[in-house]
Amino acid sequence: MRTNYQALFIDKIKALLPANVSLADALSELLCISKDAAYRRIRCETDLTLEEVLVICEHYKITFESLSNPNAVAFHFKQLSPDVESFKAYLLGMLSDLERIKSFENASIIYAAEDIPVFHHFPYPVLSAFKIYYWMRSVMNVKMLEGTTFQPGSIPEEVLEVGRQVYKTYASIPSAEIWTDGTISSTLDQIAYYWDAGLFESKEIAWQVCDELTAEIQRIKQQSELGTKQLVPFQFFHNDIMIGNNCVLIKAGTTRFCYLSHHSFNFMLTTDAAFSRETESWLENMMRRSMLISGVSEKQRNIFFSAMLKRIENLKMRMM
């Protein structure tokens, strides 16, 4: 029996839509066709054109190949060019993704954090400017930053503002984070490297980066104590095993999709159902083997966060 790939494709699109969004309305708007024409395509009475398939795939970040080859997993990523505008576009894409996740009913995020989740840096102007400067100068090789040293004004205010909106949106979505003792290490290593290389404009700026990192960790600790962030549930797990990579799973009703980090800070996305189910199973197993220290386990929580705060203080003392 011949497989009806269009029906499978339509089902895949339907699974990616929030419950309150009509598939016919979504296709009508996306493809610039009438609602009746959209229904004919949904019922497979009218074939989708190649151009329509490409438009849908690009918009919903899916691939047609995954329907015919169950072992094929396609990832989408934001290709960056070495300039400030490209990084701003990266942040705007992150904001758009979070707003879309938030639009789903009962949406939540599980984040296995090899590094501190990028969202947490953005409320802190000097720390977030440093992280963005590091990514653009040392990872993206932005030419305008070559031969410069870090100062807060190195990053345009409009870029920092997009970052603040990213954090605000993330903080409004229920989430669980899994950290290890080494989750803070990469940020500490970046600060130490820039200090040793003389890449801070002044020692006072380097200390300020450390002070804001301290404030960030204290804020996350407070959210863990309360078990909430902006009045939505927040779970925090401590895991003794190295995670190996930043992995983010989005749960939205029956829909699952996930992000994997690459190139230090960038993420690639897949909506592949089988891959997402495997990822969910891996994350659930990791949480079972971790200690929940949000809302409970006060002693373990204090030990965990105190160790991180001590490492920041030791770095600052070394710089003094």
CA distance linking residue 86 with residue 317, whole number of Å: 36
Q: Do residues 283 and 275 touch, judged by C-beta distance below 8 A?
A: no
My answer on whether 42 and 170 are in the same domain is no
pLDDT tens digits, 271-317:
887 888 899 999 999 999 999 999 999 999 999 999 999 999 999 99
pTM above 0.85, yes or no: no
Q: Are residues 25 and 165 in the same domain?
A: no
pLDDT digits (tens, 9 = 90+) for 227-247: 999 889 999 999 998 787 899
Helix, strand or coil, per DSSP, at residue 258 = strand
Range of the domain at 50: 5-68
Q: Give per-residue pLDDT as tens, 71-120.
A: 667 777 777 889 999 999 999 999 999 998 998 888 999 999 999 999 99
Do residues 123 and 192 share a domain? yes
Please tell me whether residues 97 and 185 are part of one structural domain.
yes
* CATH number for 33: 1.10.260
User: What is the Cα Rg of the chain in Å?
Assistant: 22
Q: Which of 27, 25, 34, 32 is nearest to 13 (CA)?
A: 27
Same domain? 54 vs 97: no
- Under a CB-based contact definition with an 8 Å cutoff, are residues 105 and 251 in contact? no
Look at residue 69 and tell me whether its pLDDT is greater than 70.
Answer: no
Q: Are residues 41 and 125 in the same domain?
A: no
Residue range 13-68, pLDDT digits in tens = 887 787 778 899 999 999 999 989 999 999 999 999 989 988 988 888 777 666 66
Structural domain count, the chain = 2
- What's the confidence (pLDDT) of residue 104? 87
Reported as a single tens digit per residue, the pLDDT across 205-224 is: 999 999 999 999 999 999 99
- Residue 184 burial (CB count, 10 A): 22
